[in-house]
Structure 1
Amino acid sequence: MEASMIGLWDTTGNEVVKALAAERRSAGGVASGLALTLVAVVEEKKVREAEAAATIAASAHPCRLLIVVRSDLEGRSRLDAEIVVGGRLGPAEAVVMRMYGRLALHAESVVMPLLAPDVPVVTWWHSEPPDVIANDFLGVVADRRITDCKLAPDPVAALGQRARDYAPGDTDLTWTRITLWRTLVAGAFDTTEERVTGATIVAPLNDPTAALMKGWLKSRLGIEPHWEHTDRSPLMRSVELKCANGDCVRVTREEGTALFSRTGQEDRYMPLPRRTVGDELAEELRRLDADQIYGEALGAMAGVAGLDSKPAMRVHVWKDPALAARAGDAAGAYAGPGGSAA
């Protein structure tokens, strides 16, 4: 299919819808093969990263890609859009929308008419996760919601907030990053029924993958793993399990590999590559139903029970960030009795 691209500057949502339909017709119409609509919420400085990741994911999961860039909330409302069919953003359809002013707070008014018909919607935040997903209509309308707590100032605290704000259908790329770790650890017990009595995780203090690994082990094994903090590695270094018969199983990260050690057996090296965000995103798009195991691990990590019994559907709760900022400024200007204004 020949690539097709059109740019629309200072345009409207209706014009974007018409232009996408025209580009689809000229490109042969690819919507019949779409598996989902992927809505990516991105900061301006991360647009190229998001495009690269979404292109990898779209090659495995044909989708309509809608990239929403919210910029300059205080300026004049304006919409700039770029429509690409079969071009640099993969084989499917893509619309990059830069929204300015108050329009950025109502992105759904432009996005909703662009959703591919009769397919699931996945919203992915390639930015700091929202505190409350219900405050963002793009999350409320989605069947699956993908966040990335690694991008938060305090990743472990952000994971805790994801637990408190959880609804079935949520996931986080932190969970995806320990898929290979979980596979190696679980595979160690394919040939034994020995009970695990203890576990130790060696990782940096604020590593969200270690926090979620701890939650997963706790939810699966009914134990309280010990987190040994280290500054020697920027990533989770090792996971060690102790069995009731005295055996020890350890997985240690090397450069692109994992050293698998087990009492009474020879050490083995197994693949443990660092994957791109695109590969991680593609993995999450393989399933469009709720991930119960993730919910249990997240709840165990944060000490929040019954996550999967919560309603899957959210109700949009409007929050105007401009009003919130003014309220914060007013509170800061008054220091209370005996205090002074800044």
Structure 2
Amino acid sequence: MTTLWDTTGSAVVKELAAQRRTGGAVLSGVALTLIVVADESRVTEAEEAATHAAEMHPCRLLVVVRRQIDAPVPRLDAEVQIGGRLGPGEAVVMRMYGRLGLHAESVVLPLLAADAPVVAWWHAAPPEQLATDALAVFADRRITDSSMAEDCLAALRTRAIDYAPGDTDLAWTRSTGWRAILTSTLDSVSGRRGAPVQVHGGRVTGDPASPTAQLLAGWLSSRCGCAITVEEASRTPGQSGVESVVLTLDQDEEVRVHSDRKGGAVISQPFRPDAAVPLPERDLGDLLSEELRRLDPDEPYSDALEAATGVTGLAERPSQREYVWFDPAEAENGNGRPRKRAAAARRGDGS
């Protein structure tokens, strides 16, 4: 690893090329460029998660830490490494001071892997409007986490208002285990009957303030064509914010999936004994790795987000974003209005 203090973007590019030549490394088989935007207080856990994801999905890892935006002098400190603590590939950790943090794309763009998709992940509270961050404008896929906001439900609605195809949320990823169990359970009921099952209603029991619980209920509502509510659990739910799901079926039948708090869930359905299935708590690296498996728009997520927030027409929105300049200093003075700038959503077309 090489640390460059008070450096420039050009020096970082040269150092990365030099390490590649010295180590005999060849950039091949890289699936994507992963840009991680993290607060200084969360850099360690973000790096651990990104390292795990990089082991599953070969990528060039670029970590952006915006520090002291109000610093009087712009400055860039960078760590450049290949095959080090951040996984087997190429990684650059950049700490930006002063107004350089508002123009992080000027340093990041030359470091993107050629002809590879770009995924941006905010391990921090994302901007209310992603287009105000140029890193979101040229990314093919954008990952946020509504559960990190002070008001999770307000953040979920903000994500719906600002949604563009290619967006996703780790609060949605946390519901994957529940969705898989519910899908297989309903398929089992359909197989027993020899006909598709009809869901007439149901409820998700857990934390009503949990974005995962709300998105799970939204997904069920969109798929079943009926209202699925979120009700408060009698005890504190687990990491996902979901304690149980109960679905009312036709023919006066009911299906129930309940967390056992031991890394599993119990399925109760008519005419069959209760069954235990694994439902482990997942760490951040697993969640991020799952989201890197797909680079196309996540339509089930947009359907769930629509149903959970009431904001419609998400899937019909254009996937490309137009860059909107936003200066926090001007905002503090009462003059800060986001201003659109001509910019294409694809890297290399300007930012």
| Aligned-partner Cα distance in 2 for 1:256–1:84 | 37
Matched with 1:262 is: 269
The normalised TM-score by structure 1 is 0.93
Q: CA deviation at 1:226?
A: 2.0
Q: Secondary structure at the match of 2:333?
A: helix
* Aligned residue in 2 for 1:206: 209
Distance 1:147 1:30 in 2: 31
The residue number in structure 1 matching 2:249 is 243
**Within the alignment, does 1:221 sit opposite 2:228 as a pair?**
no
Aligned partners of 1:250 and 1:125: how far apart in 2?
35
Report the equivalent of 1:79: 76
Aligned residues: 325
Post-superposition offset of 1:328: 8.4
1:316 aligns with 2:323: yes
Give the equivalent residue in structure 1 for 2:199: 196
Partner of 2:127: 130
CA drift at 1:126:
0.3
CA distance in 2, matches of 1:268, 1:186: 15
Partner of 1:277: 284
Letter in 1 for 2:116: V
CA contact (8 A) 1:204 1:231 kept: no
Residue 155 of structure 1 and its aligned partner are, at CA, apart by 1.2
TM-score by length of 2: 0.91
What residue number does 2:3 align with? 7
Distance 1:231 1:248 in 2: 21
Partner AA of 1:65 in structure 2: L
Aligned partner of residue 69 in structure 2, secondary structure: coil
Q: What is the CA–CA distance in structure 2 between the aligned matches of 1:14 and 1:313, rounded to whole Å? A: 28
**Given that residues 37 and 124 in structure 2 are in contact (C-alpha distance below 8 angstroms), is that contact kept between their aligned partners in structure 1?**
yes
Q: Is the 8 A contact 1:30 1:92 kept in 2?
A: no
Aligned partner of 1:340 in structure 2 is none
Deviation at 1:84, TM superposition (A): 1.4
2:56 is the counterpart of 1:60: yes
| Alignment deviations for residues 185-241 of structure 1 (CA, whole Å, 9 cap, x no partner) | 011121312210011111113111110011101110111112211351142100110
Unmatched runs of 5 consecutive residues or more in structure 1: 330-342
Amino acid corresponding to residue 162 of structure 2 in structure 1: D
Q: Return the match for 2:38 from 26, 39, 42.
A: 42
CA distance in 1, matches of 2:96, 2:59: 22
Distance 1:167 1:161 in 2: 12
Same amino acid, percent of matched pairs: 54
Per-residue CA distance 1:151-193 (angstroms, 9 max, x = gap): 1111121111111100000000111100110000011121312
In the alignment, is residue 170 of structure 1 matched against residue 175 of structure 2?
no
Runs in 1 of length 4+ with deviation above 4 angstroms?
A: none
- Partners of 2:3 and 2:278 in 1: CA distance: 43
